[in-house]
Structure 1
Amino acid sequence: MSDGDPADDIMTATYRALCTHGYADLTMQDIADESSKSKAALHYHYDSKHDLLCAFLEYLYDRFVERTSDPAGADPAAQLRSLVQTVLDKPEDDREAFETAVLEIRAQAPYEPGFRERLTRFDDYLAGEFERLLEAGIDDGVVDPAVDPADTATFLVTMLTGAATERVTAGRSVECTRRMLAEYVESHLLTDATEAQL
């Protein structure tokens, strides 16, 4: 995750520490132990663990945008399929322990406005991408014009978030979600189902 930048070093250390300790037991010392910096140096950049984790969520957001922006495909229908698949696919460097730690952070969002604000950015961005593709698909004649882009985008994000949560909490595969969303996209959103599948 790091490319030699001091900020990236801290983010990489935070990632490793979360994988090892989870959210609840994580301390600034744990992060320092994974970093080339001392605990005092971390506190120079971040007043608290909360502040550091807020910065880490922003870092993850930037990586998520990089991974999901500009989905592959020659038209909005293909790009819609591609975006769903990309979100369902775990990045190669993801670990189950890390996903669990992020879910712990998400569980704190109702009580931690800083976490809630940053986590909401993920959902808002993804909903915006789906809405954009659906609107473009309607304009191009490949998405049913009766589809409400905003409501459909919200539904897709809710399904994908739920699948990710089930993967962590119940060890449930996302393959059922992948299959059912593929069917939903083809039968309810597109005007002309193609051979391309998720």
Structure 2
Amino acid sequence: MPTLSKRGKDMPESPIRKLVPYAEKAVSQGRKVFYLNIGQPDIESPEVALKAVKENNLKVLEYSHSAGFQSYREGLVKYYGDLNIPLSVENVIVTTGGSEALLFGFMSCLNPGDEIIIPEPFYANYNGFAIASGVRIVPVTSSIDDGFALPPIEKFEELITDRTKAILICNPGNPTGCLYSKEE
């Protein structure tokens, strides 16, 4: 009889998705629910994009290059170059979303037993990425009192050990929405 792997059993349930049944129940009872969970866009899709989908005459919608369309990757390199962040097309990979990119990063840059320092509160699924890759998250706590600004560098330095291999900074911060300054 097939069973889940140990890794599958060890994976935490998404804290965000745990709340969905409660929200659905509240809606079914006529309550107004404000969804502050999954980042569903609340802006209209560009007409040019909708038109391209409606008017295409493709017989087969092919996969893109495994690293992403060359023209898109070149556009990203130009965009970041204009912000004085030098990149090369060969070092840019396009993923289907941020979670996939983060999981790829955890698994390709960190070994089981390594540590990653992350400002807290942080995106709840970082826990699952860490468990899947055998990495230990070391939180550095930010505070609502200062708008969840990044803690001083000394707080990060206090947490660095021989096992520290990465520091993850998400800007703007998820879930706080804090936009870190250049000085931070």
Normalising by structure 1, report the TM-score.
0.25
Normalising by structure 2, report the TM-score.
0.26
Q: Which has the larger radius of gyration?
A: 2
- More helix per residue: 1 or 2? 1
